[in-house]
């Protein structure tokens, strides 16, 4: 099945990257055998495949967390405390052991109500530790 997905992109410009993105879209992440499989399908070295995976931040070989919290780091959100909020979230979630990823994002389009955060698909304006925490708990419940 993985081989079939990858083979759809053989011969295309950027085919290796497109194939890896397609596999990740199907699975949520790139499986451990993807380097050798993609190298075989595209007739390139494993090092080249590994280089593509390492270069593109959107590609990951880690299974996704149940909840992803994206914290805006654009200037408007930084001016109203997004960096401190991100640090507090990282501390609190690391301590709790929750299956949550915290990622920076450049802009969520909520500049007038910053700091802005996205919890999975839910946008949160005027984000504070307490209201973001509630959204994380709700998202964890939905993920069960």
pLDDT tens series, the chain, 144 aa: 899 999 999 999 999 999 999 999 999 999 999 999 999 999 999 999 999 999 998 899 998 888 999 999 999 999 999 999 999 999 887 767 778 999 999 999 999 999 999 999 999 999 999 999 999 999 988 887
Domain count, the chain: 2
Domain shared by 87 and 135, yes or no: yes
Q: How far, in Å, CA of 57 to CA of 137, rounded? A: 27
Q: Domain range spanning residue 49? A: 2-55
Position 95 scores a pLDDT of 66
**pLDDT score for 74:** 96
Residue 78 and residue 136 in one domain: yes
Look at residues 46, 36, 44, 47 and name the one whose alpha carbon lies nearest to residue 15. Answer: 44
Answer whether 64's CB lies under 8 Å from 27's CB. Answer: no
User: Is the sign of the CA dihedral 104, 109, 114, 119 positive or negative?
Assistant: negative
Backbone angles phi, psi at 130, to 5 degrees: -70, -45
């Amino acid at each position: 099945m993985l081989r079939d997905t990858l083979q759809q992109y053989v011969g295309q410009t950027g085919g290796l990257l497109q194939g890896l993105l397609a596999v990740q879209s199907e699975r949520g992440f790139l499986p451990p055998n993807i380097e050798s499989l993609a190298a075989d399908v595209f007739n390139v070295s494993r090092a080249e495949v590994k280089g593509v995976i390492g270069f593109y931040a959107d590609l990951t070989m880690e299974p996704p967390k149940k909840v992803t919290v994206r914290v805006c780091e654009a200037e408007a959100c930084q001016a109203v405390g997004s960096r401190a909020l991100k640090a507090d979230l990282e501390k609190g979630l690391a301590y709790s052991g929750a299956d949550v990823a915290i990622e920076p994002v450049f802009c969520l389009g909520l500049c007038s109500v910053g700091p802005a955060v996205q919890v999975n698909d839910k946008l949160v304006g005027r984000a504070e530790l307490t209201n973001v925490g509630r959204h994380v708990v709700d998202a964890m419940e939905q993920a069960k």
